[in-house]
Amino acid sequence: MVGLRERKKQRTRRALIESALQLFDEKGFEKTTLAEIAAGAEVSTRTFFSYFASKEDVVFYDTHERMELAKSMLARGEPGKSPADLLASLIDNILAWMSAQEDLTFEDAELRLRLVLTEPTLQARALTLLFDTQLALAQTLHETYADELSLIEAAAAVGALFGSVKLAVIANLENNRSLEEIWDTVRRAADIALAGMRSLG
């Protein structure tokens, strides 16, 4: 499993990601061609598509991983915690990850945010990724609390939480805020959404 083949593939993947992000940063997403990305990684254009399904997908190279983490957290659950509390701690965890910038360099995160806010195609991709993630999380939450939460209720909860946070953050992003201010916004938006669940049971 750790043969030369695997290592080479990982290296090529990294090279493609780095080439792409650098070019996107320098010249913008639209103005960068796949040919240039591939050239930067020293592979043929065709090869790009055996690593990523589309030009947009390079930008979200680590999203699947992160989604799995979130899912496993909801799947594990925590004895004695209500669904609302579990979701609240999910938000806390996500904030902690982002502050800790574990694997992703901070520049990557900033670049990604800028690109997503700027380029319509990337915004669209981000929204569908987020949407799919929410569906998966709702399903997981429902399974974790099978007796208490119907699938619809779980979906409503997850949708309300993410919808609230997403829109509040974006609406508050015009002026360039500090990270702390953004975290505050996240928490306030999450509270508004979670209050609904708590007040209903």
Partner DNA sequence: TGCAAATTTTCAACCAGTGAAAACAATAAG
Partner DNA sequence: CTTATTGTTTTCACTGGTTGAAAATTTGCA
Binding site residues, DNA, CB under 7 A:
3-6, 8-9, 12, 32-35, 42-47, 49-50, 53-56
| Among DNA, a copy of itself, none, partner that 124 touches (CB below 5 to 8 angstroms by kind) | a copy of itself
Give the nearer residue to a copy of itself in terms of CB position, either 41 or 58. Answer: 58
Tokens linked to 36: 């240039």
Q: What contacts 176, CB < 8 A, 6 or more positions away? A: none
Q: How many residues bind a copy of itself (CB under 8 A)?
A: 45
CB 47 → a copy of itself: shortest distance, Å?
Answer: 23
Radius of gyration for the alpha carbons in the chain, expressed in angstroms and rounded: 19
CB 134 → a copy of itself: shortest distance, Å?
Answer: 6
A 10 A CB-CB count for 151 gives 13
Q: Is 161 in the site for a copy of itself (CB under 8 A)?
A: yes
Q: Is 187 in the site for a copy of itself (CB under 8 A)?
A: no
Angle between helices 106-118 and 4-27 (to 10 degrees): 60
Q: Is 173 helix (H, G, I), strand (E, B) or coil?
A: coil
CB 170 → DNA: shortest distance, Å?
Answer: 24
Tokens linked to 39: 């050239």
A 10 A CB-CB count for 112 gives 20
| Among a copy of itself, DNA, none, partner that 93 touches (CB below 5 to 8 angstroms by kind) | none
From the list 9-17, 40-48, 93-101, 163-171, the region that binds a copy of itself by CB under 8 A is 163-171
Distance CA 15, CA 123 (A): 24
Distance CA 181, CA 168 (A): 12
Segment 124-153, which members bind a copy of itself (CB under 8 A)?
Answer: 124-125, 127-128, 131, 134-135, 138-139, 151-153
Distance CA 166, CA 169 (A): 5
| Among a copy of itself, DNA, none, partner that 54 touches (CB below 5 to 8 angstroms by kind) | DNA
163-60-93-138 Cα dihedral, nearest 10 degrees: 50
| Among a copy of itself, DNA, none, partner that 19 touches (CB below 5 to 8 angstroms by kind) | none
Binding residues for a copy of itself (CB under 8 A): 120, 123-125, 127-128, 131, 134-135, 138-139, 151-168, 170-172, 185, 188-189, 191-200
